[in-house]
Amino acid sequence: MASADIAQMNKDGERPNGGGDPGKEPQVNKLFRLAMKQEASDIHLKVGQPPMLRLRGDIKRMDMRALTQNDMEQLLLPLLDVRKKKILDDEGGVDYSYVIGQDESRFRVSLFKQRGRLSLVARRVNNFIPKFKDLGLPDGMENLCKYPEGLVILAGVTGSGKSTTIAAMLDYIAENEPLHILTVEDPIEFTFTDKVAYFNQREIGLDCRDWSKALKDAVRQDPDVILIGELRDVETFEAAIHAAETGHLVFGTIHAASSGTTINRILDLFPAEKHPAIRQAMANNLKAVIAQKLVKGLRKPRTPTNEIMVVNPTIRKLISECEDNKIPDAIRIGYQEGMVDFTENLRQLVERGDVDKATALEFAPNPEALKMALKGIKVSTPGIL
């Protein structure tokens, strides 16, 4: 990408999503469109590197010249309104959603400073909400949407597809139940369509001042289902538990690799003296944890693999009694209640032709157990209680 290329990029006639000349499309949209054409999951822009795309899970540098700080300012600052520019200046980073064209495609953008220079990472969000079968999720996902109240957590590292899975769950509820679904997000990713249920979606900083105000207001807005975008701190977790205790079905996401580590991740938010009370709150209100990873697929670039923990009496007792080390065994024997561990789910993906054996073994928590499972050998599970 030569300097002249950047200057000439701004020649389409659409109205921009952000600042700049109202008659021109922002220059950077050419790169967003390239990501859409290549079916990349993410765009990465950094001073000193050419534009980069994440393709099938790997970062690939484009055949373009390295970007300068001047390039980054020309490309990215026109996207910001006054409020976003102030957040970037005051806090060193700003997150927001960005739409190309008339809802042509949506991106979740993180624009930030590193070593005094601008960088950007943008995650492409589907402009439609897929169904469970389209995603390749385990059987029985519908049952995890039917709780009248309680807390359902989607766990996974950044980029594991949590937002897509949770959107599919909310859309399923909207198709089947005459309810009010309220989302609190930073920023809004998927935009939902009113169906049998109807939605209100609130974005932090745009529709409400901050998380504290939005979460305090949420229970007064007569929701049946609440999405709290991320259980990121004490405040958001306590709000989720309070809403679950008062008769709402609450969905939230968390950065954790498995069901067991989700319990530990939540406890780590609190001082040790509060852990017994938090464990009891989870035992009483947690309904399920869906842990997810994305692996390279055969039918599509990336396929989710899942562990599902349903909080039955056995798991409730393990959480209460600090016996988290026994949770994996409880999941393994809970298949009749819709539970599945990563090993079994990877076996299913291989047998279905969605993932090859080598990839499954690479991502398996216990490759030897997966090898045995692929041969039809079941590993015995020790007593839990």
> Which segments in the chain show pLDDT lower than 50?
1-4, 6-20, 22
Strands 93-100 and 105-114, by their bridges, are antiparallel
Number of C-beta neighbours around residue 304 at 10 A? 23
pLDDT computed for residue 209 by the predictor? 85
**Residue where the block lists tokens 């923990």:** 309
pLDDT computed for residue 319 by the predictor? 97
The domain ranges of the chain are 3-125, 132-374
- Name the residue among 345, 265, 350 with its Cα closest to residue 309: 345
User: pTM for this one?
Assistant: 0.82
End-to-end CA distance of the chain: 63
Give alpha helix (H) positions in the chain.
3-9, 29-38, 69-76, 82-91, 132-135, 162-176, 211-218, 234-245, 259-267, 275-285, 313-320, 327-332, 342-352, 357-363, 367-374
Distance CA 300, CA 112 (A): 31
- What CATH class has 3-125? alpha beta
pLDDT computed for residue 164 by the predictor? 93
Distance CA 383, CA 385 (A): 6
**Sheet containing 302-310, strands listed edge to edge, beginning at the edge strand earlier in sequence:** 198-203, 180-185, 225-228, 249-254, 150-155, 286-296, 302-310
DSSP bridge partners of 42? 54, 123
Q: Which pair of structure tokens corresponds to residue 155?
A: 């766990």
Residues 6+ apart with CB under 8 A from 175: 195, 196, 197
Q: Do 111 and 46 meet the contact criterion of CB atoms below 8 Å apart?
A: no
How confident is the model over 212-232, as pLDDT tens digits?
889 889 988 999 999 998 899
Q: Do 45 and 75 meet the contact criterion of CB atoms below 8 Å apart?
A: yes
CA atoms within 13 A on the CB side of 377: 7
Q: Which pair of structure tokens corresponds to residue 31?
A: 């790169």
Distance CA 350, CA 110 (A): 35
Mind giving me the DSSP string for 287-347?
EEEEEEEEEE-SSSSEEEEEEEEE--HHHHHHHHTT-GGGHHHHHHT-GGGT-B-HHHHHH
pLDDT computed for residue 2 by the predictor? 44
CATH of 132-374, one of 3.90.230.10, 3.40.50.620, 3.30.930.10, 3.40.50.300: 3.40.50.300
pLDDT computed for residue 23 by the predictor? 53
